Amino acid sequence: MIIELPDTTTGAISRELVRVRQEGGAVALGRVLTLVIATSHGAEEEAILAANDASREHPMRVIVLSKATEVTSERSRLDAQIRVGGDAGASEVVVLRAHGEAAKHEEGLVTGLLLADAPIVAWWPQSPPTTSSNSPIGRMAQLRITDAASQPDPQAFLHQLADSYSPGDTDFAWTRLTLWRAQLAATLDQPPYETVNLVEVAGAKDSPSTLLLAAWLKLQLGVEVKQTFVDSHSLGGGIFWVKLHRDSGVIELRRSQPGVVSLSQPGQPLQNISMPRRSLRDCLAEELRRLDPDEMYGQVLRKGLELVSGSLEQSRATQ
């Protein structure tokens, strides 16, 4: 069910939510958090779809604050939409489309719609503020999510995140590394327990996850990390391979086809491991499982990134 509320106020939206709840169209009990999605006009649906899917694991209220990408002189007004039932997954979705002067008062638009005594998560799918923790929405949130991959220069954006990092910040470029990190850790946890002497990481030139993976490996292993940026690749973007050099030979994880990574180790048969690209829904659901600060992400961003940026032998190739 979708309820349209043109030219409205937050008070009227709150009353409508109560009415819908009383009539049995939505149940607030069991909502575990409020997710605030800050986006722009016309770019709401992809984020809403991901939130609806993630809500089946994390029942929540989703508040979508949508503004024009540029300041306009149009009349100040607030158009809203309430989605419940089949149009909202296991959540209730409130879409706020702010116009004119109304778009400047983000905190005021959202505050009256937050669930009482529930954690608040802020997510900027496209264009986050320069310092998310000091923004009107970010100041009220326990967890603040950005996505470096959606930025014009993803790797430069990571350095911006490092400069402004505050506990509670996270980025989907880091979340997309979970499967790679887990597989690498599991591989090194098997005999022979040898020291890694050198690491090589390769990925698309615009892949922020590749840079974060190199920074994590540098921080964890304390060895030289060589990184190769590839302009194009038959498998698209992201991470292409990781090589761990040890005295007994090279351990290599290579994305051999979409959704599959091949693991080769000295003296062992080649293994194919399912490692699909993580969707927005997968990344969002994972971040919502833990609302406390990710200390490892903070260390990689503030310390590891500087180490690889200062010492990496970076090359750009065309494949």
Q: Is the Cβ–Cβ distance between 272 and 179 less than 8 Å?
A: no
Q: Alpha helices of 131-272 — where are they, by DSSP H?
A: 154-164, 172-175, 178-188, 208-221
d(CA 230, CA 238): 10
140 and 6 both lie in a single domain: yes
Residue 166 maps to a domain: no
Give the total number of structural domains in the chain: 2
Q: Is the Cβ–Cβ distance between 193 and 219 less than 8 Å?
A: no
Summarize the confidence of residues 26-40 as an average pLDDT: 80
212-254 pLDDT, tens digit per residue, is 999 999 999 999 999 998 876 677 789 999 999 999 999 999 9
Tokens of 204: 């698309």
Summarize the confidence of residues 140-158 as an average pLDDT: 96
Residue 134 maps to a domain: yes
43 and 134 both lie in a single domain: yes
For 95-110, the DSSP string reads EEEEEGGGGG-HHHHH
Q: Please report, for residues 201, 208, 252, 278, 315, the alpha-carbon distance to residue 255 in angstroms, rounded to integers and kept in the order given.
A: 12, 17, 10, 14, 20
Residue 162 maps to a domain: no
Position 136 pLDDT exceeds 70: yes
Q: Name every residue whose Cβ is closer than 8 Å to that of residue 121 and which is 6 or more positions away in sequence.
A: 33, 34, 35, 36, 141, 142, 143, 144, 145, 287, 288, 291
Give 314's pLDDT tier (boundaries 50, 70, 90).
very low
Pairing of the two strands 239-246 and 198-204? antiparallel
139 and 215 both lie in a single domain: no
Give 295's pLDDT tier (boundaries 50, 70, 90).
very high
183 and 142 both lie in a single domain: no
141 and 183 both lie in a single domain: no
Summarize the confidence of residues 16-33 as an average pLDDT: 74
59 and 189 both lie in a single domain: no
Summarize the confidence of residues 50-69 as an average pLDDT: 92
Position 309 pLDDT exceeds 70: yes
Summarize the confidence of residues 116-135 as an average pLDDT: 95
Give 31's pLDDT tier (boundaries 50, 70, 90).
confident
Angle at CA of residue 240, ends 244 and 218, nearest 5°: 40
From the list 285, 256, 288, the residue with the least C-alpha distance to 273 is: 256
Q: Please report, for residues 36, 98, 215, the alpha-carbon distance to residue 39 in angstroms, rounded to integers and kept in the order given.
A: 10, 11, 29
263 and 129 both lie in a single domain: no
8 and 135 both lie in a single domain: yes
Tokens of 72: 């306009």
Which of 146, 161, 187 is the C-terminal boundary of a domain?
A: 146
**Residue at token pair 């089949």:** 86
From the list 232, 252, 131, 236, the residue with the least C-alpha distance to 183 is: 252
Residue 285 maps to a domain: no
226 and 270 both lie in a single domain: yes
Asked if residue 154 has a cis previous peptide bond (ω within 30° of 0), the answer is: no
Residue 50 maps to a domain: yes
Which of 125, 146, 167 is the C-terminal boundary of a domain?
A: 146
Residue 264 maps to a domain: yes
115 and 248 both lie in a single domain: no
182 and 103 both lie in a single domain: no
Residue 6 maps to a domain: yes
- The residue range of the domain holding 50 is 2-146
Which of 124, 146, 168 is the C-terminal boundary of a domain?
A: 146
135 and 6 both lie in a single domain: yes
Residue 161 maps to a domain: no
